[in-house]
């Protein structure tokens, strides 16, 4: 086959086109991602001499990925085209006689196929993190966080509001453009630790089928690095800044408030903020400059309260598989008396006792009785300065306290910071936003 190709090459004049991953200003070249999606969807990838086998998005899914310096053949409108995978660049080889006839429609075809793959959500999602040793680069890993809107316990009305808000955002491209606005939507998730903010971000990304860019502001050295990182994000992504309140409170921060304001406004022209969902998480917004959170900068505020009885029932249903239980009235009464724990704490108690729903619910009751009095003692009150939890000296659910740490390691894609501040509990979407009016 190779010999035949060489003989053929002898009789043809070829032209080459490069599709680099980054353009001159080190921004991502969106065509590169599209070409990559397209090539990896071609059946002929199986015929390449060397391909990598990697795990796909779904469990037990194995996908083929073109290896470095490998060639893949494609056919379009009667012409044969060759793609080479050079590291960071795809090289297209096309016969000169075919070029004029097929190049444009071929590129349009690639766009259309890649868009379709995106739409079908077939694309494997990625989690990007900025790295400490190179302030201006992202590093990516497959994003496989299993959280969905079904697994996050939340007031049902609010959950469906957020879902329809995101759905209408996805359809609102023309609407935003008619208004001369950047097609983006920003969310503030605030509430005590362990109430599901990070899980909710993952659920949003899974729902939208968007990549996640998790910005750690502590690893950024200046405003311009922040800008540069934002410029490198790709459309169809959720850009997340966790614990913004904590960062703003730090006096030693290397990024100015105006740097963050600019970032939040995504002022850097529409090209770098189109089709982005921005999410900021905080424990409390009490001490944050309201200007930073004004409508337009942050479109939707969502409060994540501590667990109430209805959230408890949702957790019991998903963690223990029980919809009703004879101990429920007792639990309800304790909640009515004002006791509460975070969903994370209750979830962990349930996981530790998942073989016996009664024992699990009893351990929640005990924990609520000891810890739920305004979060003054027990699990919560035992935090030390450096955010580590002490071992409990009581016997109550002793096993669970170990599991807390273990599970955090297990579940966390996002950092679990254990600052706890209590706050009140009404979840709300702010009223007037352009999309909601629509």
CB of residue 412 to ligand ATP, shortest distance in Å: 7
Taking the CA atoms of residue 367, residue 368, residue 369 and residue 371 in that order, the dihedral angle to the nearest 10 degrees is: 70
Q: CA 190 to CA 280: how far, in whole Å?
A: 8
Binding site for ligand ATP (CB under 6 A): 151-154, 193-199, 283, 304, 343-344, 347, 411, 416-418
Handedness of CA 165, 167, 172, 173 (dihedral sign): positive
152 binds, among ligand ATP, Mg ion, none (CB under 5 to 8 A by kind): ligand ATP
Tokens, residue 40: 């990896």
Q: CA 346 to CA 57: how far, in whole Å?
A: 29
The residue of the chain with the least Cβ separation from ligand ATP equals 196
Chain centroid offset of residue 119 CA? 17
The residue of the chain with the least Cβ separation from Mg ion equals 198
CB of residue 246 to ligand ATP, shortest distance in Å: 10
b or e along 128-138 (b: 16 or more beta carbons within 10 Å of the residue's beta carbon)?
A: bbbeeeebbeb
- List C-alpha distances in Å: 252 to 178, 221, 299, 415: 42, 11, 29, 21
**Beta carbon nearer to Mg ion, 262 or 422:** 422
**Beta carbon nearer to Mg ion, 336 or 415:** 415
**Beta carbon nearer to Mg ion, 106 or 190:** 190
Residues 173-212 that bind Mg ion (CB under 5 A): 197-198
194 binds, among ligand ATP, Mg ion, none (CB under 5 to 8 A by kind): ligand ATP
Write phi, then psi, for 58 (nearest 5 degrees). -85, 155
Q: CA 265 to CA 244: how far, in whole Å?
A: 15
**Beta carbon nearer to Mg ion, 40 or 197:** 197
196 binds, among Mg ion, ligand ATP, none (CB under 5 to 8 A by kind): ligand ATP
The residues, ordered by sequence, that sit 6+ positions from 171 with a Cβ below 8 Å of its Cβ are: none
Helix, strand, coil distribution of the chain in percent, nearest 5: 45, 20, 40
39 binds, among Mg ion, ligand ATP, none (CB under 5 to 8 A by kind): none
The residues, ordered by sequence, that sit 6+ positions from 374 with a Cβ below 8 Å of its Cβ are: 338, 422
**Beta carbon nearer to ligand ATP, 166 or 306:** 306
Tokens, residue 392: 């409990």
**Beta carbon nearer to ligand ATP, 193 or 370:** 193
CB of residue 2 to ligand ATP, shortest distance in Å: 53
**Beta carbon nearer to Mg ion, 203 or 365:** 203
**Beta carbon nearer to Mg ion, 149 or 328:** 149
CB of residue 422 to ligand ATP, shortest distance in Å: 13
Q: CA 91 to CA 396: how far, in whole Å?
A: 63
Q: Could you identify the residue written with the tokens 């879902």?
A: 163
Question: How many residues of this chain bind Mg ion (CB under 5 A)?
Answer: 2
**Beta carbon nearer to Mg ion, 135 or 247:** 247
Chain centroid offset of residue 397 CA? 33
CB of residue 126 to ligand ATP, shortest distance in Å: 20
147 touches Mg ion (CB under 5 A): no
CB of residue 243 to Mg ion, shortest distance in Å: 7
CB of residue 358 to ligand ATP, shortest distance in Å: 21
Binding site for Mg ion (CB under 5 A): 197-198
């Amino acid at each position: 086959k190779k010999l035949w190709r060489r003989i053929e090459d002898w009789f043809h004049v070829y032209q080459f086109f490069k599709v680099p991953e980054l353009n001159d200003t080190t921004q991502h070249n969106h065509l590169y991602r599209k070409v990559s999606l397209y090539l990896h969807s071609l059946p002929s990838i199986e015929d390449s001499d060397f391909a990598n086998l990697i795990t796909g998005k779904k469990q037990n899914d194995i996908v083929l990925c073109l290896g470095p310096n490998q060639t893949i053949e494609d056919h379009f409108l009667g012409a044969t085209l060759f793609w080479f995978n050079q590291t960071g660049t795809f090289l297209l080889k096309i016969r000169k006689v075919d070029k004029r006839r097929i190049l444009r429609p071929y590129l349009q075809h690639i766009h259309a196929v890649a868009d379709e793959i995106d739409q079908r959500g077939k694309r494997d999602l990625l989690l990007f993190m900025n790295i400490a040793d190179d302030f201006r680069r992202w590093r990516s890993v497959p994003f496989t966080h299993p959280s969905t809107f079904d697994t996050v316990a939340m007031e049902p009305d609010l959950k469906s509001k957020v879902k329809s808000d995101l759905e209408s955002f996805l359809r609102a491209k023309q609407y935003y453009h008619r208004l001369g606005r950047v097609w983006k939507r920003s969310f503030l998730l605030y509430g005590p630790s362990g109430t599901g903010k990070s899980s909710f971000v993952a659920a949003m990304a899974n729902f939208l089928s968007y990549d996640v860019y998790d910005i750690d502001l502590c690893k950024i050295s200046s405003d311009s690095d922040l800008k540069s990182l934002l410029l490198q994000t790709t459309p169809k992504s959720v850009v997340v800044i966790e614990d913004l309140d904590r960062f703003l409170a730090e006096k030693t921060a290397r990024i100015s408030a105006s740097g963050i304001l600019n970032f939040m406004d995504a002022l850097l022209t529409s090209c770098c903020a189109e089709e982005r969902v921005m999410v900021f998480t905080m424990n409390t917004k009490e001490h944050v400059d309201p200007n930073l959170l004004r409508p337009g900068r942050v479109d939707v505020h969502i409060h994540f309260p501590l667990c109430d009885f209805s959230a408890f029932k949702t957790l019991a249903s998903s963690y223990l598989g029980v919809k009703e239980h004879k101990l429920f009235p007792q639990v309800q009464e304790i909640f009515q008396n004002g006791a509460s724990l975070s969903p994370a704490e209750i979830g962990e108690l349930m996981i530790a006792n998942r073989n016996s729903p009664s024992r699990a619910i009893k351990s929640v009751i005990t924990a609520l009785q000891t810890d739920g009095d305004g979060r003054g003692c027990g699990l919560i009150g035992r935090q030390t300065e450096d955010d580590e939890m002490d071992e409990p000296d009581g016997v109550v659910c002793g096993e669970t306290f170990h599991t807390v740490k273990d599970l955090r390691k297990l579940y966390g894609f996002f950092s679990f910071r254990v600052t706890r501040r209590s706050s009140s509990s009404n979840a709300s979407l702010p009223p007037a936003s352009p999309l909601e009016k629509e």
